[in-house]
Amino acid sequence: MTRRGSGWIGGALLALATLAATPTRAETGALEQAVKATYLYKLAPFVAWPPGAFNATDDPLVICVQGADAFAGLVDRAAAGQRVGPHPVLVRRLARLERTSGCHVAYVAGSQAQSTAQALAAVSGSPVLTVTDAERGPARGIVHLVLNSGKVRFSVNIGQAEAGGLAVSSKLLALALEVSR
């Protein structure tokens, strides 16, 4: 084999290795969704709920997923066996989010039964950390997930949090892309 031939083969192998190492859009999308699912319970240690939000010190931290059944499966896997302080994490799927749903954290995606805006209005002013996703529309919860330079980031509305009696840690606020009232 000549040098010219071996250079071509080496270049082709390098190109194939680069393609193999570059995630496809589907892989990137799946990774993005898995990161978002993990955020739901990773945010909780940075939030203080008002007295009475938990009946007992070892009550579960309930994460509700409204209107996104496929995403709920990712949240189930991410939260399996996890604890937030003394609270085991429990995931519930909901078609409709209500003030009486018993959620501490709610991922609000909207559904045919209830739009994102309707779901947010249903729990407005209650101690529920609402999480929305820019990918699903403009309505914003207390935490709003966005994709920024290929990374999942978030903004925080402390006015909404305070209206529900939630206190958001300054450590979490320091990581936010945007903090608003």
Class of the domain covering 25-180: alpha beta
Nearest to 166 by CA among 115, 86, 106: 106
List the domain boundaries for the chain.
25-180
pLDDT of residue 153: 96
- Name the helix (H) or strand (E) containing 67: none
For residues 74 and 35, give the distance between their C-alpha atoms in angstroms, rounded to a whole number.
Answer: 9
Long-range contacts from 136-145, C-beta under 8 angstroms, 24+ separation: 136/68, 136/109, 136/110, 137/110, 139/108, 139/110, 139/115, 141/106, 141/108, 142/166, 142/168, 143/39, 143/43, 145/36, 145/39
Average pLDDT over residues 147-176: 97
Tell me the pLDDT tens digit for each residue of 111-145.
899 999 999 999 999 999 999 997 777 789 999 99
pTM for this entry: 0.83
pLDDT of residue 147: 92
For residues 90 and 107, give the distance between their C-alpha atoms in angstroms, rounded to a whole number.
Answer: 13
pLDDT of residue 27: 57
Tell me the pLDDT tens digit for each residue of 12-39.
333 323 333 334 445 568 899 999 999 9
The residues pairing with 94 across neighbouring beta strands, listed in sequence order, are 66
